[in-house]
Structure 1
């Protein structure tokens, strides 16, 4: 079919090959930047809360779900209104992107060449990791250094005129980097003679030792040759620029960090798994984040000096262990009891100040409180799923780069050239690495790299706008990443959609053509009028199985849905660079018009993140400098 249908309240003239879903072209809207600068101010939002059951009748958990839904609906962008944010950027109070613990012992990590490497077990081809992992390396100063260097370190400095700023291996919305990381480890020669907790300082590529922990902790609870990485968020860093919508973007960034760690660990023959039985309070104690005073949330958005707003919110804990390890017994109740004793440890270092003044968007902190995960008290075998390789249809699409070359040279494109085209087989190959279950069988469980780090079945799909893929008609397509949702998606979307497999599509790729049309203008308008969404080879919106997931599993799944989109986004970034082009994550889009295009009603499915992939336009005015040693500036 040709995409011709149109919601009545958004009507514009059509022809047979072009479909618009946008307001009158005379409507003047602000033009936010690519990653979403809201332009509204402080008055209380008039956005109506979504229809949910009375939390007083449905219990505490239903009230938490209601808060998550309220936040989500209140922070939507629309054609006529953007989510609330600052009027402009308060450059004098831009948060320092580098957390440091003053007076904590600083242990330098090793550096590695970023230029072309010989293909060895130490530097495997990027594409090879999707088929099998190399033999596991022992935990050492070198391997720990390499893990952080290829996942969370600085990748370059950029300079133009009087402005200089750093880039990192892990992407971040607006390059604001709300994400912090912690290493919790048994003794490592040349790093520590005792088990320890350390904060990773990316500017120095060093570990700040925060505390030593009991010697029996790792042998009692975890497999041999394993360690933990904790991830936290500083909401203020993101809210400085993006206001209320910042909580979404912080959790996108958590997902990108999980994906980055999983890929770098795979290079070393290590597997990564989310330890999702821990509760929020356990993570806070384990990472030593209970040193931050409790932030008292005001009743409305206010501006002033709130140093307590710079606290770190513990997000998740990753277990890193040798690939091929056997299952082990996980007793989270005993683990939680052991972690409670960490409050008695001597904590080293005082967190640095990030800004002189702050703005508190109160709904961020109320929602963060509502979606905290409680402890999972039951014990049992911790599942260690066998590594599942991903599908192959065009191995020659890749440029023969190592994982380090792809990860450390990854950049977010500022603009797309509107010219570069992609071969159909390359398009299919990229999507084969985006499905969760790997090669063969029905897609549902997350067994393939890097999705295997997550602890739930896939809940995120992708609606794709195909612009410049040779041999594939322009139009709207849908990648079903959990095939248990297929019939539900067909019922939830427009009855006019085709739901047919496109020509040449691999059997194990659940990709469907919905409608054919030139969607370039449509993709641009839906992504906040940004050309970059239409000038690439294709763009997409990540669609989550939303309210049913929160209702069935709990409000704590709300940030995890964004984590899953971040992991998927990380794959798209790496895939684009591995085939010789570029990509950009887009957080600014008009939420409900996207749903209207697809035919979604209510909150069963929601779009959480947009992406675009294509040929980048390089800005020759900006000069690149090495990541290490970088210039002597703080920001």
Structure 2
């Protein structure tokens, strides 16, 4: 770390929503309503589902008096296995890639944001790299007799509820015919779940250029609820966003683009991934016992991965379940725990927010935009692989260093969906072009130690169509001033000046890490209006957007030689009260902090592959 860059121990002075093609507003044709229901019935059902999700959100809030319902202690005997395996499926071991210092010609971190990377052909080597730099293990940690793994994609509590699936045409060395495979990160291998007919693959990939693949995500809620109880549904969807961002950035390093195919229903995605159609009870709990249905996966979404620079035509969507009748699935899911605890409200929220209808959603495209804020020389000389694979979540921060303002502004600029002076609706900055909706999430920033920038509360307006609504919703006492050194194109505004370290800590469940970084922030989503505009399936998607933002914050921090941490524990309504917000128009969904990490020297780090012989699970 370069002390000069970070300001070593220097004290610091004190709308309307645009409808995108393929992301329809809530109606009987885009919600859970079947074609046999009337429009009025459909609207009532959508309203009921939105009400269910708002109720879930309210009941899983933390307050100064009470935390959301969860286990009173951790049942270590039933800690879920973090590794899903399909026993009996054919295993294809993938290639491992060297982690070496940058060589001449290697791609350094800023390149994927500044220019197109020449696309690599889709083969076993490039597919191995995509997974190695997105969802694979990144290291093992060892402390005494305990060992645990870390992954490239972060997860709340390191519990990893997110699973990944590859659907592709034939690839030499992987499968001689089109296939569906589950990714096993502990082994860095694919488990071939099914071989599919060429005709089926042609339908699934219709509209995509040659050399494309599909990448699916699913969640196992039990892995998070084991520790976090009813709030776990939120955290699972944070993790989906992180995983989407991890895959999008790894794809960009290969010269590939990504976009979400959001026309499929959850049921159709489950059929495509080969997931059993089993629903857990929504009876209020907690209830304890052997409940294997809690280990089943919830299909979240699917993205297309395709060569950059290629055009995509309109994507037709099919009732996949009707096309999968003759597909033979291979492998049986492994058991994750002996006993389980069911928190019924999680499965009630999952059902209410599931996208149930197949729609004709179109695609959006992500085009990396030139970075005009600061030069790439300000970054550490790290390759893309070094940044994504060396990312770690800081456990604590030193609370002494300061960050230079250009670095602060650069990190914030990378969280914008369009970047610089581009307007909403323009091609979106990596990785936000993967999402088929305009930005719904803004950043409320608690600035502690940014050299030359007064401490206080700031807001980054990520969708300027919301600016006036957001301003009217907040307290009239906020000043809404443009910081003097802030680049004109960065929509950052000071709201209130003063030392906010203790406030940030208090709001983030009294965690010192929220006040010991350069800055911390809360991700504030346009909430109930977004659910009513786009339907109940928007609820998890708001969390996906926050996870995507968090992934950018993690990687940008590491690219500058520092660290970051996602904070899922915060006092919800006290955050809103500080901002003067009332009702459900805006809600804080995720907190984050960036700073200089303290390193615990008692914990040793071991390479990811091969891992230690005594590794847990």
Which residue of structure 2 lines up, in the alignment, with residue 283 of structure 1? 269
* Residue-pair matches, total: 576
Which residue of structure 2 lines up, in the alignment, with residue 198 of structure 1? 181
Deviation (angstroms), 1:340: 2.3
Q: Report if the CA contact (8 A) 2:353-2:540 is conserved.
A: yes
Task: Note the 1:456-495 alignment, pairs <5 A.
Answer: 456-495=437-476
Determine helix, strand or coil for the equivalent of 2:591.
Answer: strand
Quote the Cα distance in structure 2 between the aligned partners of 1:139 and 1:378: 27
Which residue of structure 2 lines up, in the alignment, with residue 147 of structure 1? 130
Deviation (angstroms), 1:382: 3.5
1:455 matched to 2:436: yes
Distance 1:459 1:169, change over 3 A: same
Which residue of structure 2 lines up, in the alignment, with residue 324 of structure 1? 309
Which residue of structure 2 lines up, in the alignment, with residue 411 of structure 1? 392
1:224 matched to 2:206: no
Which residue of structure 1 lines up, in the alignment, with residue 329 of structure 2? 347
Q: Report if the CA contact (8 A) 2:440-2:542 is conserved.
A: yes
Quote the Cα distance in structure 1 between the aligned partners of 2:419 and 2:98: 31
Which residue of structure 1 lines up, in the alignment, with residue 610 of structure 2? 629
Which residue of structure 1 lines up, in the alignment, with residue 502 of structure 2? 521
Determine helix, strand or coil for the equivalent of 1:330.
Answer: coil
Deviation (angstroms), 1:57: 10
Quote the Cα distance in structure 2 between the aligned partners of 1:118 and 1:412: 27
Deviation (angstroms), 1:439: 3.1
Which residue of structure 1 lines up, in the alignment, with residue 50 of structure 2? 65
Q: Report if the CA contact (8 A) 2:262-2:436 is conserved.
A: yes
Deviation (angstroms), 1:393: 2.6
Greater length-normalized contact order (CA 8 Å, ≥ 6 residues apart): 2
Q: Report if the CA contact (8 A) 2:259-2:366 is conserved.
A: no
- 1:538-582 residue CA offsets vs partner (Å, 9 max, x unmatched): 000000010000011100000000000000000000011000000
Which residue of structure 2 lines up, in the alignment, with residue 106 of structure 1? 91
* Most deviating of 343-352 and 228-237: 343-352
Q: Report if the CA contact (8 A) 1:435-1:443 is conserved.
A: no
Task: Note the 1:248-327 alignment, pairs <5 A.
Answer: 248-290=234-276, 293-327=278-312
Quote the Cα distance in structure 1 between the aligned partners of 2:126 and 2:247: 13
Deviation (angstroms), 1:253: 0.2
TM-score of the aligned structures, taking structure 1 as reference length:
0.88
Determine helix, strand or coil for the equivalent of 1:239.
Answer: helix
Determine helix, strand or coil for the equivalent of 1:431.
Answer: helix
Q: Report if the CA contact (8 A) 2:257-2:366 is conserved.
A: no
Determine helix, strand or coil for the equivalent of 1:216.
Answer: helix
Determine helix, strand or coil for the equivalent of 1:534.
Answer: helix
Structure 2 spans left out of the alignment, 5+ residues: 1-12, 15-39
Instruction: Point out 4+ residue stretches in structure 1 off by more than 4 angstroms.
Output: 55-58, 443-446
Which one of 246, 252, 262 corresponds to residue 232 of structure 2?
246
Which one of 190, 202, 210 corresponds to residue 207 of structure 1?
190
- 1:96-133 residue CA offsets vs partner (Å, 9 max, x unmatched): 0000000111100000012213253xx41111111112
Deviation (angstroms), 1:421: 1.1
Quote the Cα distance in structure 1 between the aligned partners of 2:372 and 2:51: 40
Quote the Cα distance in structure 1 between the aligned partners of 2:283 and 2:159: 24
TM-score of the aligned structures, taking structure 2 as reference length:
0.91
Quote the Cα distance in structure 2 between the aligned partners of 1:389 and 1:246: 38
Which residue of structure 2 lines up, in the alignment, with residue 158 of structure 1? 141
Quote the Cα distance in structure 2 between the aligned partners of 1:465 and 1:446: 30
Distance 1:240 1:476, change over 3 A: same
Quote the Cα distance in structure 2 between the aligned partners of 1:391 and 1:83: 43
Which residue of structure 1 lines up, in the alignment, with residue 10 of structure 2? none
Deviation (angstroms), 1:247: 0.2
Q: Report if the CA contact (8 A) 1:156-1:166 is conserved.
A: yes
1:365 matched to 2:350: no
Which residue of structure 1 lines up, in the alignment, with residue 513 of structure 2? 532
Quote the Cα distance in structure 1 between the aligned partners of 2:494 and 2:261: 37
Q: Report if the CA contact (8 A) 2:113-2:368 is conserved.
A: no
Quote the Cα distance in structure 1 between the aligned partners of 2:609 and 2:383: 20
Quote the Cα distance in structure 2 between the aligned partners of 1:67 and 1:519: 35
Determine helix, strand or coil for the equivalent of 1:422.
Answer: coil
Deviation (angstroms), 1:389: 3.4
Q: Report if the CA contact (8 A) 1:463-1:477 is conserved.
A: yes
Which residue of structure 1 lines up, in the alignment, with residue 25 of structure 2? none
Alignment RMSD (CA, Å): 1.7
Determine helix, strand or coil for the equivalent of 1:442.
Answer: coil
Q: Report if the CA contact (8 A) 1:119-1:402 is conserved.
A: no
Determine helix, strand or coil for the equivalent of 1:348.
Answer: coil
Which residue of structure 1 lines up, in the alignment, with residue 596 of structure 2? 615
Distance 1:58 1:328, change over 3 A: closer
Deviation (angstroms), 1:459: 0.3
Q: Report if the CA contact (8 A) 1:150-1:404 is conserved.
A: yes
